[in-house]
Amino acid sequence: MKLFSNASILVLSNIQAHVGGDALAVIGALALGKEKKKRQLAIDLGTNAEIILNDQGKLSVCSTAAGPAFEGKGVDCGMTAKAGAINGVRIAVQNGNMILEVLESDHPKGICGTGLVDLLAQLRKSKVLREDGYLISKEEALAEGISEQIAKQLVIKNQENIFILTRQGQKEIYLSQSDIRNLQLAKGAIQAGVRTLLQTCNLSLTQVDEIVITGVLGSCMKVSNALEIGLFPDVEKEKLHFVKNAAGTGAAQLLLNTEIAKEWEQKAKEIHHVELAKIDSFQKALFTSMTFQKWEV
């Protein structure tokens, strides 16, 4: 990074070892904790998912290793959201026609996070992806009466089932069974983190007034598809809000007004940190949160 010779750098304190200054910036940007009559839940999606609860002015936070799968890493044909990335997928169940949305290009190079969420949801609706994450074979699809156009996209590669989105010359862009397992773990970790944090605070999702999803991925995806695979709770529309990059907004606020640094640093000391690794129920919640079904409240 190029800096002016006299530039200064402000670094926010970590809340705890696995919850960094970016979570504190989210809290500042969303003014979490100032609302004393509401319960708010914020989920900052990234390599780690920071989950923040405002329980009528009392803040609790945890971090779960969602992993980089929804950022396109750990996925065979995954990539970040840049030119050539497939960022949207639609599949017509009746005839199998597929429409791909590609960022800034007519030539797909891979698939990014929002495209992965869309694809998982569309495969579920097309009945080629089971609730437990199993991607069926071409033979199974045809036996179940699934469109031949969809079934022919199901092939075997490296001894596992894959679904081919498109072929670009010799290159195939596809989703494999291993990719799906990685995405399951990421999705399950987010859901289990939310469940465990609320349980620790003796609350349920029905008692939460507002849920805010932030992070670059969280603000760009199609909500209906995210709900279809259970990435977010299936709550009333008016409860669910999306804010693009709240951590970046908080960092900008700090640069424009360095006086708030002391206020935020003090707040960091008062936040209740929940260490998920030390809570036995988290592993059980993770196991039950990995299915691709709507997250009923």
Q: Cα–Cα distance between 164 and 174 in angstroms, integer? A: 4
How many CB atoms sit inside 10 A of residue 88's CB?
Answer: 22
Q: What is the predicted pLDDT for the residue at 182?
A: 94
pLDDT tens readout for residues 5-19: 787 787 877 888 778
pLDDT tens readout for residues 235-254: 999 999 999 889 999 989 98
Residue 1 above 80 pLDDT?
A: no
> What is the rounded average pLDDT of the residues 219-224?
84
Name the more confident of 46 and 234. Answer: 234
pLDDT tens readout for residues 38-96: 999 999 988 789 999 999 999 999 999 877 888 888 899 999 989 999 999 999 998 99
Residue 221 in tokens: 């995806």
What structural domains and CATH numbers belong to the chain?
21-67+189-288 (3.30.420.40), 69-180 (no CATH)
Residue 170 in tokens: 């010799």
pLDDT tens readout for residues 142-195: 999 999 999 999 999 999 999 999 998 888 999 999 999 999 999 999 999 999
pTM: 0.92
How many CB atoms sit inside 10 A of residue 117's CB?
Answer: 26
How far, CA to CA in Å, does 136 sit from each of 43, 92, 166, 201?
32, 18, 18, 40
